[in-house]
Structure 1
Amino acid sequence: SSLHQNEFRSPQNLIVPSASSPVENSLKEPCTTPLSNDTLYSNANSPSDSCVKPLCNAASENKSQGNKGVKYVSSEGDKLECGWGAFTPACLQSFNTPKGVLLFLCVASFLQGMIVNGFINTVITSIERRFDLHSYQSGLIASSYDIAACVCLTFVSYFGGNGHKPRWLGWGVLIMGVGSLVFALPHFTTSPYEVHFSEETGMCSSNQSMQCAESVSILSNYRFVFMLGQFLHGIGATPLYTLGVTYLDENVKSNYSPVYIAVFYTAAILGPAAGYLVGGMFLNIYTEIGKQIDLTPDNTLWVGAWWIGFLGAGAAALLTAIPILGYPRRLPGSQRYIIMRVSEAHQLKDGSHETALDPDFGKTVKDLPRSLLMLLKNPTFIFLCLAGATEATLIAGMSTFGPKFLESQYSLSASEAATLFGYLVVPAGGGGTFLGGFFVNKFKLRCSGIIKLCLLCTVTSLLAVFIFFIHCPNMPMAGVTQMYDQSILLESSLNLTAACNTECDCLREIYSPVCGSDNIMYYSACYAGCKKKSVLDSGKKVWFEEPRCEPSLPPGCLCLFPRFTTSVAVSWRMIPLVLPKEGLSFWFSCFL
């Protein structure tokens, strides 16, 4: 009958009219709105949604207005059960809901943030030390993720947007898990990390030596394995933040969509926080687990168990990909949310935006240039992309160098700085993202209101940038910035050796700076001419004896904390030169 040919049925049996428009038929037939399970709702009982109009209430509307708002979606052959192929057990259907999808996507985004923005930034120094990498090489490792994302972004978003989104998402998470396992692979393919280090190494004594277990030229080649792992991370994470957000938006009511997306991004921001905390904890474990060594985490030759986090996160990603692959192309009952939405997008004067409503548009490669041209003509989209790129630049720089900034300014160890930075990210990133979605839903903000909210938050955050103008002064280093006799040293004549340490046979491989009562920092205790040391209070305090390079200092012991990179001596006792970590200035600067 004409009724069955011209109305939207259930998602399982949706039929697209080919001849007459829904508006024309609405004048002839009763108006109904489809729900799941072959249930039809009339106009009077249609679900309440601020962005969804009834399918046919257009008796008073003209034909052109009706055609502009309708998106025709074919669902012939779509399977709406959750499962893998013919295996669709009933127990899994309870997860076949928007909340179930949100759960697994949050786990995936959490793992991605923990791996890429947490573990990588935490262990990069340990990897440099273990595999003898230069800074530019470790920079290439970190940037391999962005290179892969840029290469795959257009392809994934274009074809994945018209394909089976859960399958694209599942395979992406699977590839990301494989990338984590590849990143941890060099630990198992190299010989054990061994450093022949004695208690007297680093002190002023003759006949010092330190041996490495493997040729550094061979170890540095493992940077290509790390780059491959990061490249796989980038490929796998590309669908997550493009198709994942779209899949959530398509399957929930439009006024609930900001909350779902906010929860999704909150999980993504909490991931790096967990990565810093867990990664810092693993760095306190020696990389060769179970091996007895003389090194401590405070020693510059220490290499922590950087690889454990990647193994655990990679295995978790592989397990998370399994349920995501089982979701259908569209969730049951979601058709009523995508039939008709009030469009707030930029309307092009040439009317090309109406081309995007064609169900056949975007299914072939030849439509890609036209799609890109349509996006470039959308000023709102362009400026949002520029804002996102700027924000990503700031986040990338802050996540990489933020812990190092805390470490240098407050004389924290690497693990302490990473842990503290994780504590700062949790309330700032996670809370801010969640509150953003809450405000959008609470005040019913539309596109213009959301943009104004973003502008307000951005202007407010700019005020905090002035904290970087407050910093501790750099201390002069003997043999680097000035001579041992406190005279100015030319840049071209760097020399760490002086008369007071010429017989010490100091090793440049051991960088553990200390500072004397003359307010001059020394490359190490050896270059300061210290011959002996005594440890008290469970290793927390160390006395360096006979500081021969400090002028007018009587013989005695210097007390210092060797884990701090900057310290100052009062008389012959050395204490850290830091802003007090318990003071108001410390926590206020961290807040900013």
Structure 2
Amino acid sequence: MSGSQRYIVMRVSEAHQLKDGSHQKASDPDFGKTVKDLPRSVLLLLKNPTFIFLCLAGATEATLIAGMSTFGPKFLESQFSLSASEAATFFGYLVVPAGGGGTFLGGFLVNKFKLRCSGIIKLCLLCTMFSLLAIFVFFIHCPNMPMAGVTQMYDGSALPGGHLNLTGACNAQCGCLQETYSPVCGTDDIMYYSPCHAGCKRVSENLRNGKKVYHECSCVDKNLLPGSGKAEAGKCTSSCVKKPLLLCFMFVVILFTFLSSIPALTATLRCVSDRQRSFALGIQWIVVRTLGGIPGPIAFGSMIDKSCLLWQDQCGEQGSCYIYQNSAMSRYTLVAGLVYKVLGTTFFIVACLLYKPPPAESAPGSSDASENGTSDLQEHKPSLPAEEDI
């Protein structure tokens, strides 16, 4: 852009200062114009500890974001006994305002308080610590809705852990197939694997909500209500009193995780020289995607799968998980979240401690200067090009 070179020269540099002074090579006007400068540029970035640890911190945050975005709906579906579509919609209501608002607020805070590079890293550290504290909410969990043959016997007695028995005296003659998973909720507030496993013989449609209603279900306790022995398609509704608290703290975790994203990006651009900014951003995203975005869902998936109670059976092979144990799912999610949040906090602390600003940053009157070079622009205002030229 017209006048950009003069603007870059006048702006106060915040690039990390290397002890051997090799960072000054990047200030050469001819640096980076040929492929021969590529190895030297990579070496300069590798010798920049602030850049390296900001990349690692971004990778840990990306791991958490990728894992939660993939398995967040599954977590809500299991905890609150929702359908897959309801859980995905519910999770969207959390992520859109929390993620979008956090991203906007992060950039606003950097601009509002005119933070320097060290101040931006401290802001990222503060956000990570807040989300680290909020993630302890996963100690809270909602109890599983009782399911016949999975969490309890058909006669209401407890089912030993790790055992699965979907066949009882009430459905032994039905010849039910385990491949057909279609949960129904009986009038006794117990879920059944399918209408067949509930021993149902007739079906009709509920005119109010359009759901199928099954009648003459031999496995449903008829002693609770006169004329019972019915079941409705879908899972039983959970009445978990901890639901508002869990959702509130999940909102806080998502908000502060995204709030640090723009400040971390800004700190990355500022801790390297102007001529290395584009290249540094490319290297950072390679690190973030390789160490964060790709292994994130894999790590969270392997942790959450440990809490599965009922697996899909596809021709003798294990498929996806139908039912999770909520307490174990919360515990494993907490462990995975804590590991990555602690790592992210550590990386931001190290980046803050190792950052060495240029001498100009500590000069009198330069602490109030922002990336826009406010103080410098005021001193050299007559020499700046016209606003329309910029």
- Mark the CA change 1:490 to 1:418 in structure 2 (over 3 Å): closer, same or farther: closer
- Mark the CA change 1:397 to 1:544 in structure 2 (over 3 Å): closer, same or farther: same
For the 8 Å contact 1:347–1:353, the answer to whether it is kept is yes
Is 1:415 matched up with 2:100? no
Match of 1:368 in 2: 38
Is 1:488 matched up with 2:159? yes
Per-residue CA deviations over 1:441-474 (Å, capped at 9, x if unaligned) read 2221111111121122221122221221111123
1:137-216 aligned at under 5 Å gives the runs none
Paired residue for 2:240, among 559, 579, 583?
Answer: 579
Deviation at 1:333, TM superposition (A): 3.8
Deviation at 1:517, TM superposition (A): 6.1
Paired residue for 1:394, among 49, 54, 64?
Answer: 64
- SS of residue paired to 1:534: strand
Per-residue CA deviations over 1:478-523 (Å, capped at 9, x if unaligned) read 33455434353574x6442333223323233331223446665321
- SS of residue paired to 1:533: strand
Paired residue for 1:465, among 116, 135, 145?
Answer: 135
Is 1:562 matched up with 2:241? no
Match of 2:16 in 1: 346
Paired residue for 1:434, among 83, 104, 108?
Answer: 104
For the 8 Å contact 1:542–1:561, the answer to whether it is kept is yes
Separation of aligned partners in 2, 1:422 and 1:339: 45
- SS of residue paired to 2:203: strand
Match of 2:182 in 1: 512
RMSD: 3.0
**Structure number with larger C-alpha Rg:** 1
Match of 2:248 in 1: 588
Write the letter of the residue equivalent to 1:562. A
Separation of aligned partners in 2, 1:412 and 1:490: 24
- Mark the CA change 1:478 to 1:412 in structure 2 (over 3 Å): closer, same or farther: closer
Deviation at 1:558, TM superposition (A): 5.0
- Between the two proteins, the alignment pairs up a number of residues equal to 250
- SS of residue paired to 1:502: coil
Deviation at 1:408, TM superposition (A): 1.9
Is 1:445 matched up with 2:127? no
- Mark the CA change 1:509 to 1:453 in structure 2 (over 3 Å): closer, same or farther: same
Match of 2:25 in 1: 355
- Mark the CA change 1:490 to 1:441 in structure 2 (over 3 Å): closer, same or farther: closer
- SS of residue paired to 1:386: helix
Deviation at 1:545, TM superposition (A): 1.6
Write the letter of the residue equivalent to 1:408. S
Is 1:499 matched up with 2:163? no
- Mark the CA change 1:483 to 1:416 in structure 2 (over 3 Å): closer, same or farther: closer
Per-residue CA deviations over 1:348-371 (Å, capped at 9, x if unaligned) read 111111111224433444433332
For the 8 Å contact 1:518–1:550, the answer to whether it is kept is yes
Is 1:382 matched up with 2:42? no
Deviation at 1:424, TM superposition (A): 1.8
For the 8 Å contact 1:545–1:556, the answer to whether it is kept is no
Write the letter of the residue equivalent to 2:248. F
Separation of aligned partners in 2, 1:405 and 1:334: 49
For the 8 Å contact 1:579–1:586, the answer to whether it is kept is no
Where structure 1 has 5 or more consecutive residues not aligned to the other structure, the ranges are 1-330, 568-575
Match of 1:533 in 2: 203
- SS of residue paired to 1:387: helix
For the 8 Å contact 2:135–2:249, the answer to whether it is kept is no
For the 8 Å contact 1:543–1:559, the answer to whether it is kept is yes
- SS of residue paired to 1:547: coil
Separation of aligned partners in 2, 1:481 and 1:490: 8
For the 8 Å contact 1:403–1:421, the answer to whether it is kept is yes
- SS of residue paired to 1:544: strand
Higher relative contact order (CA 8 A, sep 6+): 2
1:41-60 aligned at under 5 Å gives the runs none
1:72-83 aligned at under 5 Å gives the runs none
Write the letter of the residue equivalent to 1:334. S
Write the letter of the residue equivalent to 2:209. G
Match of 1:273 in 2: none
Deviation at 1:388, TM superposition (A): 0.5
- SS of residue paired to 2:175: coil
- SS of residue paired to 1:543: strand
Separation of aligned partners in 2, 1:338 and 1:471: 53
Deviation at 1:557, TM superposition (A): 3.6
- Mark the CA change 1:547 to 1:419 in structure 2 (over 3 Å): closer, same or farther: same
Separation of aligned partners in 1, 2:152 and 2:231: 23
Q: TM-score, normalised on structure 1?
A: 0.38
Match of 1:334 in 2: 4
Separation of aligned partners in 1, 2:4 and 2:215: 75
Q: TM-score, normalised on structure 2?
A: 0.56
Deviation at 1:372, TM superposition (A): 2.5
Write the letter of the residue equivalent to 1:379. P
Paired residue for 1:405, among 51, 75, 89?
Answer: 75
Where structure 2 has 5 or more consecutive residues not aligned to the other structure, the ranges are 253-390
- Mark the CA change 1:489 to 1:444 in structure 2 (over 3 Å): closer, same or farther: closer
